[in-house]
Amino acid sequence: MQRFVLFSSLLAIFISLIVHTYPPAIQSILNSLTTTITPISTSEPPMNAVKSTVAKMSKPLHHAKITPHRSSARGHSDHGWLNTYHSFSFADWYNPNFMSFGSLRVLNEDRVKANSGFPTHPHRDFEIFSYILSGELTHRDSMLQKGAEGGQSDRFYRMHRGDVQFTTGGTGIAHSEFNEHRSETVHFLQIWAMPWKKGLTPRYHTRNFPDEEKRKGFVHILSPLKGGVDATTAQEKAAEPTIDGTIPIHADFVMGAGIVPPEGKFEWLVGAKVTEKPKRKVYIHLPMTKGGKSKIRIDGREEAVLEEGDGAFVEGVNAGDRLVVESIGEKEAEVVVLDTA
pLDDT value of residue 14: 41
Predicted confidence (pLDDT) per residue in 295-330, tens digit: 999 999 999 999 999 999 999 999 999 999 999 999
Give the three-state DSSP class for 266: strand
Q: Rounded mean pLDDT of 223-242?
A: 97
When comparing pLDDT for 129 and 175, which is higher?
129
CA distance 286 to 284: 7
Q: Where are the beta strands (DSSP E) in 150-218?
A: 156-159, 163-168, 173-179, 186-193, 203-208
Count the Cβ atoms, other than its own, within 10 Å of residue 155. Answer: 16
Give the mean pLDDT of 50-62.
63
The CB density around residue 138, as the number of other CB atoms within 10 Å, is 19
Compute φ and ψ for 302, nearest 5 degrees.
-65, -30
- Using the predicted structure, report yes or no on whether residue 37 has a pLDDT greater than 60: no
337 vs 66: CA distance, rounded Å: 14
For 302, the enclosing helix (H) or strand (E) is none
pLDDT at 127: 98
Task: Quote the mean pLDDT of the chain.
Answer: 86
For the ranges 30-39, 124-133, 136-145, 295-304, which has the lowest average pLDDT? 30-39
Residue 29 clears pLDDT 50, i.e. is over it: no
Strand order in the sheet with 163-168: 75-78, 82-86, 104-112, 186-193, 127-134, 163-168, 203-208
What are the backbone dihedrals phi and psi of residue 62, each rounded to the nearest 5 degrees, phi first?
-65, -25
Q: Check residue 237 and give its pLDDT.
A: 96
- Is the predicted pLDDT of residue 331 greater than 60, yes or no? yes
> Which range is least confidently modeled, 13-17, 142-146, 202-206, 309-313?
13-17
Q: What is the H or E stretch that residue 126 is in?
A: none
Helices 2-21 & 23-36 angle (0-180, nearest 10): 90
pTM for this one? 0.82
The pLDDT of residue 27 is above 50: no
12 has pLDDT over 60: no
Can you list the domains of the chain with their CATH numbers? 47-340 (2.60.120.10)
Q: Where are the alpha helices (DSSP H) in 198-305?
A: 211-214, 233-238
* Distance in angstroms (rounded) separating the CA atoms of residues 158 and 165: 10
> Looking at the predicted structure, is the pLDDT value of residue 39 above 50?
no
- Output the CA–CA distances (angstroms, integers) from residue 59 to 165, 267, 299, 300, 325, in the order listed: 35, 11, 8, 9, 12
Share of the chain above pLDDT 70, in %: 79
Position 176 scores a pLDDT of: 87
The partner residues of 312 in beta bridges, in order of sequence, read: 68, 284
CA–CA gap between residue 90 and residue 68 (Å, rounded) = 19
**Residue 36: pLDDT over 90:** no
* pLDDT, tens only, 170-183: 999 998 899 999 99
Q: What CA–CA distance (Å, rounded) separates 4 from 182?
A: 97
DSSP class of 206: E
Give yes or no for residue 34 having a pLDDT over 60: no
101 DSSP assignment:
B
**Does 42 score more than 50 pLDDT?**
no
Query: pLDDT (tens digit, 9 = 90+) per residue, 273-285?
Result: 999 999 999 999 9
CA-nearest of 217, 116, 200, 117 to 166 is: 200
CA distances from 34 to 28, 130, 270 (A): 10, 59, 48
- Tell me: pLDDT of 33 over 70: no
User: In this structure, are residues 161 and 130 in contact, taking their beta carbons and an 8 Å threshold?
Assistant: no
Looking at residue 19, what is its pLDDT? 40
Beta bridge partners of 335: 258
